Structure 1
């Protein structure tokens, strides 16, 4: 009898709160998020997500996330987060999604869920236009820059034989800082996502060049908490629709030009 009374009181309390306009969590019915998705990102990661001259967050992933949000009926909010701790921010519910050129890896799959891949990328080596570095072998005795906690950082560290031959690695909070230091010779090369490098090079023509050697191909996906599988399915469905109806091609052309 006591259990029945407690359950009845709980039901009445929830009803009263709802009637008074107090927001009741929808966690049981729709996952650990509410009517708005808070998307975590590195806001210095052009062209995936970055701030324009007016301070607004823009980019390829931003446009894509807004379109998906519209199709699944949820507002989106973009929240800059320290990339090195972004998985923790997601699982601590500071954000609801990671949507910012997030590489799908087995290590990350152990901690979070992923949408299906929506874009391919490579980890490439960028040097200055007049550099005599022609390939990986020429990096021996040199200083290489990477973004801390990024896929570039991980890709470089996996090549332990090369890392042991380097003079050192310099880690940055974002790729923009790394490429700026490369320009003024504070580092000799930068390992970076190809999508970032190619966009950055259109803004700084004649400054950099990309080497043929690279650290492998990868795929980008949207990261979500493992218990938010229903949300993941909705995102997959929306992304598939966006690919089929030509919206993906339009967004791609806006940020990367023709394929």
Structure 2
């Protein structure tokens, strides 16, 4: 009888030990499954009609200053980078809907955008310039009174013009899906002027110096930053460090010189 009792006790002990081990392994597996997986890819949202920041070349490949900057930063973070063209007027919805991870395409830092987007430190200074046709009599932004002016929909040019006293004197502020279409309307005489980011406007004006003139007046100075979701502080910190390192070691300057002929990185 004593022998039988001993055997039963041993069996119970073994069963309890096995059960405990099973639960421990199950707990470990659950913890491993729920642990956050480190991101290996960053999806960059951009307007692919925004040269020289991001656009398609003659081979339909995405190229540009911001493209090269993003590639270099991603390399330093040990991450793959994917570029995803989006409707720029819906950029905040694309970002906060997690269809992209960052907005990196000449994105102007504004207080209104800060309410919905987290920004890196500024990396480039920009102006909202005025471009007119080469044969235009318009010489100052005050002479835009009663005129039709084009801007890109969803761009900071819209806010810049609307906030300026000169903007209130316009006949019409006409919005376009991209700056290329606006420039075509300017060339065709359907617009009297366009207001556009300086880096973009001077790029186009330099390509056709006989067609366009950049006025001395502008609609204000602004800064570019990379936009991330407000709750993605980890990625924001990593990007800030990568870009600071790129400025410090001259990599950002080299990219700038390739696209602008000089270092304009802030």
TM-score between both structures, scaled by the size of structure 2: 0.86
Match of 2:203 in 1: 199
- How far apart in 2 are the matches of 1:253 and 1:198? 15
Where does 1:133-144 land on structure 2 (aligned, <5 Å)?
Answer: 133-144=138-149
The answer as to 2:251 corresponding to 1:247 is: yes
CA deviation digits over 1:144-171, x for unaligned, max 9? 0000110111101112x43332111111
Q: Distance in 2 between matches of 1:72 and 1:215?
A: 36
Give the Cα separation in 2 of the matches to 1:195 and 1:39.
Answer: 20
Deviation, structure 1 residue 14: 6.6
Q: Cα gap change, 1:82/1:7 in structure 2, threshold over 3 Å: closer, same or farther?
A: farther
| 1:119 paired to 2:136 | no
Q: What is the CA RMSD across the aligned residues, in angstroms? A: 2.1
Flag the 1:239–1:167 CA change in 2: closer, same or farther, 3 A: same
In the alignment, is residue 166 of structure 1 matched against residue 170 of structure 2? yes
Q: Aligned in 2, Cα 1:143/1:68: closer, same or farther, shift over 3 Å? A: same
Structure 2 residue aligned with 1:21:
none
Give distance in 1, aligned partners of 2:217 and 2:208: 22
Residue 83 of structure 1, aligned match among 69, 83, 88: 88
Residue of 4, 8, 12 corresponding to 2:29: 12
Query: After superposition, where does 1:179-258 map in structure 2 within 5 Å?
Result: 179-258=183-262
Q: Paired residue for 1:64? A: 69
Q: Which has the larger radius of gyration?
A: 2
Unaligned regions of 5+ residues in structure 1, if any? 1-5, 19-23
**Aligned partner (choices 176, 181, 184) of residue 177 of structure 1:** 181
Match for residue 149 of structure 1 among 136, 151, 154: 154
Relative distance call for 1:162 and 1:242 in structure 2 (3 A) is same
The answer to whether structure 1 residue 73 and structure 2 residue 78 are counterparts is yes
Where in structure 2 are there 5+ consecutive unaligned residues? Answer: 1-22
How many angstroms apart in 2 are the aligned matches of 1:117 and 1:175?
A: 23
The DSSP-based 3-state class of the residue aligned with 2:129 is strand
Note the alpha carbon deviations across 1:68-118, whole angstroms, 9 max, x for none: 000011111000010111011101101000000000111111111000000
Structure 1 residue 202, shift from structure 2 partner: 2.3
How far 1:56 sits from its partner (Å)?
Answer: 0.6
Q: Deviations over 1:35-87 (max 9, x none)?
A: 10000000000000001111111000000000000001111100001011101
In the aligned structure 1, how far is the partner of 2:25 from the partner of 2:112? 45
Counterpart Cα distance in 1 of 2:99 and 2:89: 14
2:132 aligned counterpart, secondary structure: strand
**Cα deviation digits, residues 3-32 of structure 1 (max 9, x gap):** xxx9986753575x69xxxxx852xxx5xx
Partner of 2:7: none
Aligned residues: 242
